A and B are shown apart, each in its own frame.
Chain A
Amino acid sequence: MTLTDDSHDQTLTLPAVLDSRGAPASLVADGVSAWFGDHHVLRDVTLPMPAGRVTALIGPSGCGKSTFLRILNRMHELVPGASLAGEVRLDGNDIYDPARRPIESRRRIGMVFQKANPFPTMSIHDNVLAGLALTGKRVRGRAADELVERSLRSAGLWDEVRTRLDAPGASLSGGQQQRLCIARALAVRPDVLLMDEPCLALDPTSTRRVEETIRAIADEVTVVIVTHNMQQAHRVSDRCAFFLAAEGQPGYIVEQGDTDDIFERPQDSRTSDYVNGRFG
C-alpha cells in the first residue's frame, strides 16, 4: 500500500469512518447449531454478548468454542461442507441475512487468531493499515500515521516498535506479532473483536501484555475470547460461558453468567469441576 502525501486538506481531517470512535455493539447468538458435513458440532447455543464487555468462552478441547467464535463473523462458512442454523444478531440485525454480504459483517466484527498472522513481508506500518487498504479505504499522510500510532498504542505495542515502523511484520517476536494483529484488527474500528486463544503460543510476559491490552480496549470494542486458561478467563472477562461436549456429541453451553458467579458460585457441578481444574 502506498501512502501519498498530497497537500489537500484531507490530510488534516480524518475520514469520517475513522473518526467515529468504534461504538461497541452487542452481539447475540440465538439458537445456533453447526455442522461440518454430517458431523453435528454445536447444538442450540444461545448467548448474549453485551456491548463493551469481555465475554470468555471456556471449556475442554473439541467442544465447539472455536467453531462458535468463527460463526460470529462468518468465517465458519469458509470451511467446505460447513453449515449452521440459528441467528447471530449484531445490534439486532442478523449477520446471516441474505441481503448482507459476508465482508460487511467481517468488517464490523474483527478477529484475532491462535497463531499470529501478520502479513510477513509488509511493514509494521502497512500491516496496521492493511484492513483499510483491503476494504478500499485510502488513508494518507498524517492521518495514516496517527491511525497507526493510535492502533499500536491501543494494542500496547507502540513503544516497542515506534522506531522501526518500516521493518517487516515477520521481524517481530511472537508476542509482538500477536499484538500487531490486534492493532491491525483495531485499526478498522470494529464494533466487536473476536479472539481465538490469542495467547496460546505466547510466553507469560507476552500473555500478560495481551491481557492488559484486552482490558484496555474493552470500553471501545465488545470482546469475545476463547481461552483454555482458567486464570486468564477469570482475569480478563466480565461474562463467561462454559461449553461442553460428550464424546461424539455436539457441544452446548452448560452454564453462562457473570465471570465471578461462574468461578465462585457455579450452579452446575460440571462447571465447578472444570473451573477448579478437576477435568479438561
Chain B
Amino acid sequence: MSSTPDLVANPEAARRVLTTRPTAQDIGFVAAARSAAVSTLVLMGLIGLFLLIGAWPALKSQGFHFLTRTEWLPETGTFGIASLLWGTILVGLLALVVAVPLGFGAALFISEYAPRSLKSSLVTLVDLMAAVPSIVYAMWALFFLQGHMLQVSQWLSVHFGSVLPFLRVDTPDSPSSYTSSAFIAGAAVGVVVLPTITSIMREVFAQAPIGEREGAIALGATRWGMIRTVVIPFGRAGIVGGIMLGLGRALGETIVVYAIISPSFDLTTRPLQSGTNTIASHIASRYSESGGVALSGLLGAGLVLFLFTLVVNTLAGVVVSRSRSGAATEI
C-alpha cells in the first residue's frame, strides 16, 4: 500500500521525454533513406520548374489565350493548346471506352474464374503486355489495327450516324474519311493501357476477404452472385483507381498517337472523322523544328500535360488508399 500515496501526492510530476539515443548506423541509414525519398520529390519539383521557366516566354506572350486558342501559329505569334488539350482528353476517354470493359472482364476472369493452372500464366502474360514498348504497339496499330478499324468506324457511322451526330463524318462512303482518327488512336492507346487497368483491378479483386466470399456462398449464392455482393463492392475503389491510372497513362501516350493521327487543330466533336491531335503527339512532332517562342510554347504544353497527369494520378492514388481494399482494413 506504500505506493498509493505517491500516486495521489505527486500531480506535478515532470513528464519524461521518451527517447532513444540513435547509433551512428541509425543516423546514417535514416539520412540515406530520407535523402533518397526527398530527391524524388525534388526531381519532380525541378522538372515542373524547368518546364515553367522554359514556358514562361510563351505564357507571357499569350496570357490566358494559351489555354483557349485552338490554332498553333507561332510564326504569327498566336498559338494555344485548346485543341490539343481537347484531343488529349478525347483520345484518353476513347482509350478507356476500349480498355475498361476489357480490363474489367479480364481481371474478373483471372481472379475469379480462371482455373488455377491457367491463372499464373495469365498474370504473367498481362505483366508482359505492360512491358512491351509503345513503339511495338504503334507499329501494330498502324499496319494492322487501323485497316480493320476502318470497317468498324464506317459501320458505326453509317448505321448510327443519323441518330448520334458525333458518329457522323464528312464523306461516309469513303474509307479514307475514317483513317488517322481520334477513335482509332483511342482504340490503340486503349490496348496500351489495358494491362495497367487489368492488373490493378485483378489485385484488388484477389484481396476480397475469403470470409465474406464464403459467407455469400454459404447463403446459396452463385459465383456471379458472390462476385456481385462481395468482390465488386470490395474492389470498387480499386476499379476507379485503376481506371484513373489508365487514364493518366493514356493522356501521356505519345508514339502510338503520333503514328496514327494526322494532326488537326479543330475542336473536333466527331471522333470517327480523320484528324485530331494530342499534347504529347504534338510536342513529339514539332520540337525538332521549333525554336524561340514556339519551343517555349511546346514546353508550356508539356507543363500543362505534366500538371494534368499529376492531378489524375494523385486522385487515383487517393481513391485507392482511402478504400477498404487499398487500406487493407478488415472491418
Contact = CB atoms under 8 A, between A and B. Distances in A.
Q: Do A and B come from one complex?
A: yes
Given A119-B229, A134-B225, A106 B217 contact: yes
B-side binding surface: helix, strand, loop or mixed?
helix
A130 B219 CA distance: 8
Interface in A140-184: 170, 177, 181, 184
A78 B219 contact: no
Given A117-B212, A119-B212, A170 B220 contact: no
Contacts of B217: 75, 78, 106
A205 B320 CA distance: 38
Say which size band chain A's interface belongs to: 20 to 34
A110 B220 CA distance: 8
Given A115-B211, A117-B212, A170-B331, A110 B233 contact: no
A276 interface: no
Nearest to B215: A117
Nearest to A118: B215
A120 B229 contact: no
Contacts of A103: 220-222
A131 B222 CA distance: 11
Contacts of A122: 233
A118 B233 CA distance: 13
Contacts of A237: none
Contact of B220 (A80, A115, A119, A131): A131
Tell which of A75, A107, A119 has the most Cβ of chain B within 10 Å.
A119
A135 B226 CA distance: 10
Contacts, number: 71
Nearest to B228: A134
B220 A134 contact: yes
Contact of B219 (A104, A106, A115, A121): A106
- Among A104, A117, A177, chain B packs the most CB atoms within 10 A around the CB of A117
A75 B213 CA distance: 11
Nearest to A120: B331
A107 B215 contact: no
B229 A78 contact: no
A185 interface: yes
A55 interface: no
B218 A121 contact: no
A75 B215 contact: no
Contacts of B229: 119, 130, 133-134
Interface string B166-201: 000000000000000000000000000000000000
A233 interface: no
A37 to B, nearest CB: 13
Nearest to A174: B331
A123 to B, nearest CB: 12
B276 to A, nearest CB: 41
Contacts of B214: 75, 78, 111, 113, 117
Interface residues of B, number: 20
Contact of A134 (B212, B216, B324, B331): B216
B48 interface: no
B230 interface: yes
Contacts of A119: 212, 215-216, 229-230, 233
A188 interface: yes
A121 B220 contact: no
B57 interface: no
B219 A131 contact: yes
Interface string B223-263: 00110011001000000000000000000000000000000
A73 interface: yes
A39 B122 CA distance: 29
A73 B218 contact: yes
Contacts of B226: 134
A20 to B, nearest CB: 16
Contacts of A118: 215
Contact of A185 (B116, B209, B219): B219
A156 B217 CA distance: 24
Contacts of B220: 103-104, 106-107, 131, 134-135, 188
Contact of A184 (B211, B219, B222, B324): B219
Sort A-B residue pairs by CB-CB distance and give the 4 closest, nearest first: A107-B220, A131-B219, A111-B218, A117-B211
Given A133-B229, A134-B225, A185-B219, 11 more contacts: A75-B218, A78-B214, A78-B217, A103-B220, A106-B219, A107-B219, A120-B324, A122-B233, A131-B220, A135-B219, A184-B215
Interface of B: 116, 209, 211-212, 214-222, 225-226, 229-230, 233, 324, 331
